[in-house]
Every structure is written in structure tokens, then in C-alpha cells.
Amino acid sequence: MIMPGESKTETSRAVFVIDDKQIIRAIIYYPLSTGRNMDEILRLVQALQTTDKHDIATPANWRPGDKVIVLPPKTQEMAEEKMKEKNIECFLTPEEIAGHLGLPLFRIRRSLRELVQAGLVLAQGDRFLATKEGKRKAEAA
């Protein structure tokens, strides 16, 4: 990779984050003239470790202690376990989801996939989980 205004014979700096299984998890490139952001590298490593340990995803600008994104359950058994958690509420119909999130029913029916991707709703078969975080986001919108 050649950065504008840099020598054509020199390379850019790169940071490789390699996990304990010797898998490259992230690569960050910097031009030769720019130092690396150690806070960002530390944040990235902490996010990867948190993701691995708790099977979650971290949103943009995440820091330890911030809220995370709960991944959708992969099996019926996992969905039933999620329903037992105190910070997740179970809803069986799009109407109930619409009421909980304060969104119009047509929006729920039309964009359930978007809501799942945004972390507002988890779906498993014909059952849906609306997170309390989803309600908070809907109220803030």
C-alpha cells in the first residue's frame, strides 16, 4: 500500500492483532508519517476479548463497561435460555413488538430483519425477543 506523497519504495505501517490460536483478527494500516493510536489498539483487543468471552458484538466506539449487542440465538434451546434473562422480554407477535418499541405495526412487519440487525429485536422461528435496549432506542428516536 502506497500512501499519497510517500516514497514509492517504502511501505505503510500496519498493526496486526493475532489471537491465541494464531488467527489474524484485525489489521490497521497507518501512513509512515502518522503514529499509531495505542488507545484504539487497546480498545480493539478488549472488544475482541469481550466478544470471544461473552458471545456478543460490540458497537462503534465501544469501551469496556458500555452496552453491547446481544447476538440472535442459533437454536430453540438458546432462544428459550435468552427468554429467561432479566434484561430481555419475550413477545410472540409483531403487534406486541410494535407496542413495546413504540413503533407502527407496518414498520415492524416490513422491517423485522432491520430490527434484528440493529439489535432491537431477536428472532427465532416464529418467536421474537424485544430487548429493553430496543425500547430505550425507540424512545430516544
Regarding whether 119 and 59 lie in a shared domain, the answer is no
Residue range(s) defining the domain that contains residue 8:
1-71
pTM of the model as a whole: 0.51
pLDDT for position 47:
93
Residue 103 C-alpha cell reads as 413503533
* 61 CB burial (10 A radius; 0-12, 13-18, 19+): exposed
Regarding whether 59 and 8 lie in a shared domain, the answer is yes
Q: ∠ at Cα 119 (62, 125), nearest 5°?
A: 145
pLDDT for position 104:
79
Q: What is the CATH number of the domain that holds 100?
A: 1.10.10
Regarding whether 125 and 85 lie in a shared domain, the answer is yes
Q: Mean pLDDT per 10-residue run, the chain (141 residues)?
A: 61 88 93 88 94 82 80 72 65 66 71 69 60 60 53
